[in-house]
Amino acid sequence: MKAQLGFTRRTFAIGVTGVLALLGLGGASRLVQEKPLTRPPGGQDEDDFIGACLRCEKCLEVCPAQVIVPATVEAGFLNTRTPTMNFKLGWCDYCKDYNGGSPKCVDVCPTAALKLAVDSTPENTIIGKAYIVKDWCLGWQGKGCRICLEQCPYDAITTDEYSRIRVKYDACNGCGRCEFVCVSLMSGSYTPGATDRAITIKPTQIVDFLLANEVNG
Amino acid sequence: MKSLSAKSFRTITITAVVLVVMIGYVTRSELGNLSALGWGLITAICPLGFLETMLASKTLIPQALISFIVIVIVVIVFGKFFCAWICPTALIQRILPKRSKKKETANISEAADYADDCGTNSNVVNKQLHLAEACKGKHKNIKLDSRHMVLGGTLLSSALFGFPVFCLVCPVGLSFATLLVIMRLFTNGEATFTVLLFPAILILELIVFRKWCTKICPLGACVSLLSGLNRFFRPHIDDNKCLVTAENKECYRCSKACNVEKINLRFPSKSGGSMNDCSKCRECSDSCPTNAIKFPFLPKNLEREKPVLPTKHFSTKNE
Ligand code: SF4
Ligand code: SF4
Ligand code: SF4
Ligand code: SF4
Ligand code: SF4
């Protein structure tokens, strides 16, 4: 007689292997230190976000500014396919232009991985913070560049007494416009050694770390 | 004109789903993919994803719950059709090279085994009796197996680690993610190892381990549990047409046709699967030489008796 039961020895072994594989995958993903990423508005509480994000990639499909991209495996396996911001492609205006200031990414997220408190404003939704690498910044090198300062929608960029570009940390919400418009890497304004634009948006904790470790302020 | 085989039909529906999602993505229609398909309130959220994220984030999103309930109703009405008609993994398994022919032929000889089992007696009359007897019997309605264990593991890991662990490796999600990442490679020039990683995982899951759907898939397990309640559109043999019951002949075509779910529609006691796993793929009805297998909206058992009694009644009155 052939066994008609669902559970043959083999089936049971496959089941156990499957369960262990999932527990292993979950545990391993949690153990590995993941790189912090900039998230679309409403994804700032990383624990809540990663717990609810299905990786359906709907937010990036709807973003009118096309600034959301799927994180790649280089950002860690746990982060893969989750939405992150790429300010080389655009900047986040909180959907002011296209959706009357109601973030579309938050609207479409099926599991509320992106969610905003009722009193949320663009100003208090901190995607990240702008950070300037002084050696790469044309303004810092006396070449007179003021583009990011002129474009920042939140007046978060200013100049100090030596007319060098400074970010007003508390005023910046990481909208990314400065990074989007920064010309430091464009042809003709190439700065030796630069691997990225002079001003970039990074997750708040990374900027805090960089600022704390700056030698001469 | 020969009508299209069920298999070609299934290829068409799956391809159509994939194309619609891709076109939706390019035209920014905000449709989404199978993880969350639709607009606003009318969005079908993957039922497994819903359960996982609910357990992981320990919050219940009303909109997601509504979608889940709607999906439960759809599965009760239509059964496990998703697996044959919509899920892209079925197509991937068909277009990518098979690991080895051996496995495939093994399935067929397994089916032939049932056949031999049915007719072990050399005596022809006995054999026919045996076959007719084997036709009766009832199909198991639900079968628990390794998939359901993996489903348990999926929910447990989400609750323990606080994120939808299975979503990381879900072949449905990864199929669409692969297309997306390839599209982005061309449109945005985003070169990343992800382009290699996703297909590698898919190949591992679906090609190296060909039994994914019947042995592992927790999404299939989830749907199969719900489709235990499904009574509509179940395959049904018209005994007046079937060669075995109507003409006392030997026929094992539908017994062998169900090559994914291993349901032996004609000889229930020899079935390797249970009715809730029927994906309504129509392979069995395609294989039947006398067109005896139909997928009626309502279960046929009641209907079968009805036409017999009234006619008899009627004729006696007429005399
Ligand atoms: S708020 Fe609007 S512009 Fe900003 S990331 Fe979300 S969808 Fe894009
Ligand atoms: S829409 Fe929500 S669930 Fe989907 S990828 Fe974006 S954040 Fe994740
Ligand atoms: S400094 Fe840059 S990121 Fe910050 S608010 Fe201004 S433009 Fe946006
Ligand atoms: S019983 Fe028929 S329709 Fe159902 S899965 Fe098997 S072959 Fe397909
Ligand atoms: S294939 Fe048709 S004729 Fe043959 S056993 Fe099945 S129902 Fe009967």
As a whole number of angstroms, the distance between CA A95 and CA A99 comes to 5
Do residue B61 and residue A111 have CB atoms under 8 angstroms apart?
A: yes
Closest residue by Cα to atom 4, ligand 1, is A92
A58 vs B contacts (CB less than 8 Å): 30, 32-33, 35-36
pLDDT of residue B244: 85
Total count of domains within chain A: 2
HEC sequence for A147-166 = HHHHHCCCCCEEECCCCCEE
Judge whether B28 and B304 are in contact, CB under 8 Å: no
Domain membership flag for residue A120: no
Q: What is the pLDDT of residue B29?
A: 80
Q: Is residue B275 part of a domain?
A: yes
Does B173 fall in a domain? Answer: no
Residue A141 has pLDDT above 90, yes or no: no
Contacts of A78 in chain B (CB under 8 A): 163, 168
**Ligand 1 centre from A101 Cα, in Å?**
9
Nearest CA to ligand 3 atom 5: A172
Residue B126 host element (H or E): helix B124-135
The predicted structure's pLDDT at residue B188: 79
- Enumerate the residues of chain A whose CB falls inside 8 A of the CB of residue B55: none
Structural domain of B293:
102-143+228-318
Instruction: Indicate which ligand has the atom closest to the C-alpha of A114.
Output: 2
> CB pairs below 8 Å between A and B: how many?
182
Question: Based on the domain organization, do A36 and A96 belong to the same domain?
Answer: yes
* Residue A172 clears pLDDT 90, i.e. is over it: yes
Give the position, in ligand 4's atom list, of the atom nearest the Cα of B257.
7
Residue of B nearest to A24 (CA): B157
Which residue among A19, A50, A108 sits closest to B152, beta carbon to beta carbon?
A19
Residue type, A149: L
Indicate the pLDDT class of residue A103, thresholds 50, 70 and 90: very high
CA A213 – ligand 5 centroid, Å: 78
Residue B192 within a domain = no
Determine what percent of chain B is predicted with pLDDT higher than 90. Answer: 27
Cβ of B134 below 6 Å from ligand 5: no
Q: What's the CA gap between A37 and B255, in Å, rounded?
A: 54
**In angstroms, what is the span from residue B37 Cα to ligand 4's centroid?**
26
Looking at the fold, whether A17 and A89 belong to one and the same domain comes out as: yes
Is residue A17 located within the same domain as residue A66?
yes
Residue for token digits 């607009």?
Answer: B39
Does B281 map to a domain?
yes
- Report if residue A146 sits inside a domain: yes
Residue A1 within a domain? no
Residues 6 or more apart from A28 whose CB is under 8 A from it?
none
Name the strand (E) or helix (H) holding B293.
strand B293-294
Residue A94 Cα: closest atom of ligand 1: 1
Which residues does chain B have within 8 Å of residue A77's beta carbon, measured at their own beta carbons?
168
| B204 within some domain | no
Nearest Cα residue to atom 8 of ligand 3 = A175
Chain B residues in contact with A61 (beta carbon < 8 A): 24-25, 28, 30-32
Q: Is residue B117 part of a domain?
A: yes
C-alpha span between B251 and B234 (Å, rounded): 21
Q: Are residues A103 and A135 in the same domain?
A: no
Cβ <8 Å between B144 and A15 = no
Note whether residue B137 is domain-resident. Answer: yes
User: What are the pLDDT digits (tens) for A14-69?
Assistant: 888 899 999 988 888 888 877 899 999 999 999 899 999 999 989 998 999 999 99
How far, in Å, is the centroid of ligand 2 from the Cα of A114?
7
Is residue A8 in some structural domain? Answer: no
Closest Cα to atom 2 of ligand 1: A95
Domain for residue A98, yes or no?
Answer: yes
- Domain identity same for A101 and A19: yes
Report chain B (319 residues): mean pLDDT per 10 consecutive residues.
76 91 85 83 86 91 89 91 91 73 47 52 62 76 87 94 92 91 84 85 84 90 90 87 86 87 84 85 91 82 43 37
Whether residues A141 and A196 share a domain: the answer is yes
Kindly tell me if the per-residue pLDDT of A131 is higher than 50: yes
Q: Atom 8 (ligand 4): residue with closest C-alpha?
A: B281
Asked if A96 and A138 sit in the same domain, the reply is no
**What is the domain-level CATH number for residue A145?**
3.30.70.20
Average pLDDT over residues A88-95: 94
Structural domains of chain B, count: 1
Of residues B268, B285, B279, the one with CA closest to residue B213: B279
Tell which residue, A155, A145, A121, has the closest CA to residue A41.
A121
Q: What does the alpha-carbon distance between residue B134 and residue B157 come to, in Å, rounded to a whole number?
A: 43
In a domain, A7, yes or no: no
Same domain, A59 and A140: no
Protein residue with its CA nearest to atom 4 in ligand 2: A56
Q: Quick one: A29 and A86 in the same domain? A: yes
Shortest Cα distance from B3 to chain A (angstroms)? 36
For residues A148 and A89, state if they share a domain.
no
Query: Are A148 and A208 contained in the same domain?
Result: yes
φ, ψ (nearest 5 deg) of residue B51 = -60, -45
Residues of B in contact with A11 (CB under 8 A): 145-146, 215
Does ligand 2 come within 6 angstroms of the Cβ of A111?
Answer: yes
Range of the domain at A150: 129-212
Question: Does any domain span residue A2?
Answer: no
Ligand 1: centre distance to CA A180 (Å): 14
ipTM exceeding the 0.90 mark: no
User: B8 in a domain, yes or no?
Assistant: no
Q: Is B60 on the interface with A (CB under 8 A)?
A: no
Q: How far is A98 from chain B (nearest CA, A)?
A: 13
CA nearest to A104 within chain B: B30
Answer whether A207 contacts ligand 3 (Cβ < 6 A): no
Six token digits for residue A132: 């300037």
Q: What is the pLDDT of residue A188?
A: 65
Residue B15: other Cβ atoms inside 10 A = 12
- Phi, psi angle pair for B36, to nearest 5°: -160, 95
